[in-house]
Structure 1
Amino acid sequence: MKRKCNCRLWQVISIIAIIIIAVCIGLIWIIRLNEKKHSLDETMQAWESGIRMDRIDTDTDYLEELESYSRGLKKEYMDYVEYQKEDSVLLPADQILSYRINYKSGNETIDGYVAAPKDYMVKSYPVLIFNRGGNRDYGELDPTTIEFFARYGFITMGTQYRGGGESSGEDEFGGADVMDVIKLIDYAKKLDCTNGKLYLFGWSRGAMETYIVLSCDKRIDAAVAGAGITDLKKYYVEMNQIGNTEMTGILRELVGNPKSDSEEYEKRSAIKWPDKIDTPLYIVQGMADERVAYHHSEDLYEAMDLLGKDVKLTLYPGMNHLDTPWTFLDDYFYWLKQY
């Protein structure tokens, strides 16, 4: 009889303990739901002193033109679409907020943009950092690019890099400018209005930047890198062989002499350190790319795949350097959101 009473007593105690635990979990969730979220500009202003974040008008007409342009390219190259045969449903162009930012990176003040859906404080969106191509003012980031990507359901950010746009300092083409991207990652990680996911998307020089960032910063959930240089010294030789003195001159000016500054070239060459990239990575490129030979993407993929990395490669026959990213945005953003 005594043994039966003890068993019943323990059953009652167990039930009470379960109820208490459930109530505590419920209270924690209620508290979290009622915690005040901070807006993009509130977080930016609280981040560091000397930072500016100014609202700018969203060019809705141009955003709709970009959508039409992207959809037209996708239709033309539908045979190469892997994931999203149906067009993604984009947020309306007039439902995007846009900001110009100036933030500190080392001793430099960096110019950039942030865009987000207007309901980002109600819904939790992932963050997408876009790394542009070009160098200095060539290929300068336009706010409409950031705004257009935000229509896919991202809080989107992008930097002009030092020496580009209204940024101070000198462009180092994958040198200290990498810190300009990492500072945006720092900012993104301080936001409490996101779903906690953080992605990178880089094209051309921006893909090279993406590889370098992934090698030293493990806070990224997944990345897409397109048409990027993966062996800078080999790229210099290739440009020299076709007589592209403009590009070899830029590399000598921004990076150094490929012989005497060989180490600087290796720092910017992911093929030299594929073991350092652990983030899920989708490498893409057109096979008719007139600016960067597609073997750069293929070589890095093979090196990472050999190491058992989470890496995917898609090469598009007949596609060039500039049209490719706008053609397959649906695929790229679908893939990112799986992580």
Structure 2
Amino acid sequence: MKSIFFIILNLTIFNIGFAQNGKLISKYIIDIISTSVWNRVSENNILKPDYIHLEKLDFFSITYQSDSLIVGGIVVEPKEKGVHPVVIFNRGGNRDFAPLNLSTIINYTSKLAEQGYVIIGSNYREKDEFGGKELNDVLNLTETVKEIEKADANCIGMFGWSRGGIMTYLSLKESDKIKTAIVGNGVTDLFQLIKDRPKMETAVLAECIPNYYQNKEVELRKRSAIFWPQKLNKHSSLLIISGKNDKRANQDSTTKFADKLSYLNYDFEYQEFITDHFFSNKRKELDYLVISWFNKRLKNAD
């Protein structure tokens, strides 16, 4: 009898813990002036013309619960009153390489936030599996936004860059809460990635993915959207953006993936630009495209 009691108790504690997934633990405003980013976006202590829009935004550092972990992230909110659609931003990189920070969130999402969007992004858990269990850290943000006063938790989009593209494709596969998404220079085929960039296998994938060499075929397929385009949420939509001079994500693989989506009549668009992985010479075009897409497919969607 006592053993049955403890089994029930443990199951109750387990369920309560996971019922808290996404719970906002802390939220602190970031004073941009006191950060190193200020020197880049300002001159003579005044925002440069390209960054004057930052005056309309508030930036916050957050922590939230994901599974049994506390994970860090960033939120950007328009200062304008009201409730705004949400865009979850998925960073690139892995572990401590290219973390989500103030500079990244400003570069990729501040122009979008100015147009009336709440942006939220995760830095993923410390044990990064490159598309494994830390996917929960992304999906649980759909619960976190319910605690953000200015966020419309029923109107969520997603924007992933580079490795963040993998997280976005996986999210569209595992969740029905993402109304539309954008992937910029994302990887669709990890088998092709390790052919093009062998060091990505030895220095990243083999180190991040549990039991990598024993389960290589299975684990790479799990993370490669080119093998399961039919599993993407059919009620969502997708914009794929690709730089023709990108040396990090294979464009041929992206084109093949787009062809598969076309065959499935998936609701998507594919656009190419003559630029590099970071869209270095196409930032204004990128901002315009991102804003236009989310305005049409998220904010003003029927």
> What TM-score do you get using the length of structure 2 for normalisation?
0.78
- Is the CA contact 1:52–1:102 (under 8 Å) kept in the aligned structure 2? yes
How far does residue 258 in structure 1 lie from its aligned partner after superposition? 5.6
Listed as ranges, the gaps of 5+ residues in structure 1 are 1-45, 72-89, 164-169
Shift of 1:49: 6.4
User: Which residue is equivalent to 2:98?
Assistant: 139
Whether the 8 Å contact between 1:101 and 1:112 is mirrored in structure 2 is yes
Q: 2:72 aligned with 1:107, yes or no?
A: no
Partner of 1:322 in structure 2? 278
2:8 is aligned to: none
Which of 241, 255, 258 is 1:298 aligned to?
Answer: 255
Partner of 1:338, secondary structure, is: helix
Alignment match, 1:93: 54
Report SS of the residue matched to 1:337: helix
Residues 1:270 and 2:225 aligned together: yes
Q: Deviations over 1:187-246 (max 9, x none)?
A: 224556445421100000001100000101111111000111111122112223xxxx25
Does structure 1 retain, via aligned residues, the 8 Å contact 2:21–2:65? no
What's the secondary structure of 2:140's corresponding residue? Answer: helix
Give the corresponding residue for 2:169: 211
2-side partners of 1:181 and 1:238: how far apart?
28
Amino acid at match of 2:59: S
Please say which structure displays the higher CA radius of gyration.
1
Which structure features the higher share of strand residues? 2
Partner of 1:150: 113
State the distance in 1 between where 2:102 and 2:163 align.
18
Deviations 1:272-315 (A, max 9, x none): 11011122000011011011111222121111110010011011
C-alpha distance 326-108 of structure 1, shift in aligned 2 (>3 A): farther
Displacement of 1:91 in angstroms is 7.5
The SS at the match of 1:266 is helix
Distance in 2 (CA, whole Å) between partners of 1:150 and 1:92 is: 9
Q: CA deviation at 1:251?
A: 1.1
Give a deviation string over 1:98-148, Cα, whole Å, max 9, x none: 1111111112211111110112xx333211111000000101111244352
2:239 is the alignment partner of 1:285: no
TM-score with structure 1 setting the length:
0.70
Residue identity (%): 29
What is aligned with 2:14? none
Partner of 1:124: 83
Query: Contact conserved, 2:131 with 2:223, CA < 8 A, in 1?
Result: yes
Number of equivalences: 261
- Distance of aligned partners of 1:332 and 1:267 in 2 relative to their CA distance in 1, 3 Å threshold: same
> Could you tell me whether the CA contact under 8 Å between 1:100 and 1:111 is conserved in 2?
yes
Residues 180-219 of structure 1: pairs in structure 2 closer than 5 A: 180-189=137-146, 191=148, 193-195=150-152, 196-219=154-177
In structure 1, what residue type is equivalent to 2:122?
T
Contact 1:91 1:153 in 2 (8 A): no
Offset at 1:172? 0.4
Instruction: Give the equivalent residue in structure 1 for 2:122.
Output: 159
Stretches of 4+ aligned residues off by more than 4 angstroms: 46-50, 59-65, 189-192
